[in-house]
Amino acid sequence: MFKTVASATGRLGRMTTLSTIIFDCADPAALAAFYAKATGWRLGQGDADYATVEGGPVTLAFQRVDGYGGGPGWPGGDKHLHLDFQVPDVGVARGELVALGASVPDFQPGEDEWTVFTDPEGHPFCVSAA
């Protein structure tokens, strides 16, 4: 469903590859299951404290943090990370993502090409047309 780019030539001329994006969260297994379905990638290792989603250009990892309460998400919330995805049809993706448990917050950037979503724990992510 998503198109991603994870590698670029670094400032020192070496290939720099982003290998893992890690989310602090309350329920790693549930959040990993959401992103596995949303991306079409596969669930990797997982237990009550740590879970991964693999099969894309980067690994998505979710680690349990005691006392993590989520929060309202972007903007101004306690989440300082978000993912951008490109899809063939934002309208179709919106329906699929909401059915998986994503929400569309009132806050939107005012740019027609981006739609802000939040995952089931409130982490923001953006979707635009490829």
Could you report the per-residue pLDDT of 82-109, keeping only the tens digit for each?
A: 787 888 888 999 999 999 999 999 888 7
Place of tokens 């030539």: 9
**Which residues contact residue 35 at a Cβ distance below 8 angstroms, ignoring those fewer than 6 apart?**
41, 53, 60, 62, 119
20-25 vs 59-64, strand pairing mode:
parallel
The pLDDT of residue 20: 85
The pLDDT of residue 130: 78
The pLDDT of residue 122: 86
d(Cα 11, Cα 15) in Å, to the nearest integer?
Answer: 9
Place of tokens 């997982």: 46
User: Taking the CA of residue 114 as centre, how many other CA atoms within 13 Å lie in the half-sphere pointing to its CB?
Assistant: 15
The pLDDT of residue 70: 52
pTM over 0.75: no
The pLDDT of residue 73: 44
The pLDDT of residue 40: 96
Q: Give the distance between the most distant pair of CA atoms in the chain.
A: 44
The pLDDT of residue 81: 67
> Strands across the sheet with 83-87, in order?
83-87, 124-129, 115-118
Q: What domains sit in the chain, N to C, each tagged with a CATH number?
A: 7-129 (3.10.180.10)
Q: Which residues of the chain have pLDDT under 70?
A: 1-18, 67-81, 111
d(Cα 19, Cα 31) in Å, to the nearest integer?
Answer: 19
**What type of residue sits at position 90?**
V
